[in-house]
Amino acid sequence: MSVSLASAALNGHKHHGIAMPWLGAEQTAEVALGGPVLHFAADRRIYAEGDDARSYYKLVSGVVRTCKFLSDGRRQIDAFLLPGDVFGFEGGTIHRLSAEAVSDCTIIAYRRRGTEAIIAADDRIARQFFSYAMSCLEQTRDHCLLLGRGSAAQKIGAFLLEMADRGDSATKVELAMSRQDIADYLGLTIETVSRTLSQMEREGTIALQTTRKVVLRNRRALEDLNA
């Protein structure tokens, strides 16, 4: 299911009566770059490694993971994308990673062809895409630092803080991703992730309301792990 961005803009930024707040007045110029608004169910593939990189994507709602499948069948997750994140940037003509929906999600596709000319003609769009590119670089840097942590507790503590800081609450984290996803993101086994979270709960550092809802009862202790 998809809807043209141009049609949405011409109809008061709505589709079938549903408000589309991501297309504010200052973003109307982005319609020139936009393709369809796409909807993906959880675990559906958005694009695969090796596919032609014809578009960039902006996540409107839900969570997306970018990942690489290794020759031995293992999966390495490169990033978790949250609403507002842009992904699919490539220096070449093909995607070097796969992108999959972690949860049901809505995505805006931006046509790559002709983007350079439009950016050159509009400083505002140029600044916005530069900001997107810098955000991608920062996420890559932070993930590299995260993988370099010495222990499983340090990695998981840093991950929980990252998710809290990117979410709506400094002390409550609702994880869309599974523990296997977390393990593949941190370079750990699922058993190590589960064991470490249980140990943190016993120590009073976190509370596991459910397998997906985590309360950071002692942020300072998590921060001290990575000091």
Q: How far is CA 212 from CA 120, 147, 177, 201, in A?
A: 44, 22, 8, 14
C-alpha 225 chain-centroid distance? 25
Domain topology for 2-142: Jelly Rolls (2.60.120)
Asked whether the predicted pLDDT for residue 120 surpasses 80, the reply is no
**Residue 61 near residue 19, CB atoms below 8 Å:** no
- Between 50-59, 78-87, 128-137, the lowest mean confidence (pLDDT) is in 128-137
Is residue 226 predicted with pLDDT exceeding 60? yes
How does pLDDT run across 12-29, given as a tens digit for each residue? 333 333 333 444 434 444
Determine the pLDDT at residue 105.
97
The fold adopted by the segment(s) 152-225 is Arc Repressor Mutant, subunit A (1.10.10)
Q: What is the pTM of this model?
A: 0.78
Domain positions in the chain? 2-142, 152-225
Q: Position of tokens 């985590």?
A: 214
Mean pLDDT of 48-71: 94
Distance CA 114, CA 95 (A): 18
Most confident of 31-40, 72-81, 136-145: 72-81
Closest C-alpha among 108, 99, 85 to residue 36: 108
Mean pLDDT of the chain: 82
pLDDT tens string 211-221: 899 999 999 99
d(CA 71, CA 87): 24
- The answer to whether the 2-142 and 152-225 domains have the same CATH topology is no
Please tell me the predicted confidence (pLDDT) of residue 75. 93
Using 50, 70 and 90 to split pLDDT, how confident is the model at 139? Answer: confident
Using CA atoms, how far residue 96 sits from 91, 99, 154, in Å, is 10, 10, 29
What band does 130 get if pLDDT is binned at 50, 70 and 90?
A: confident
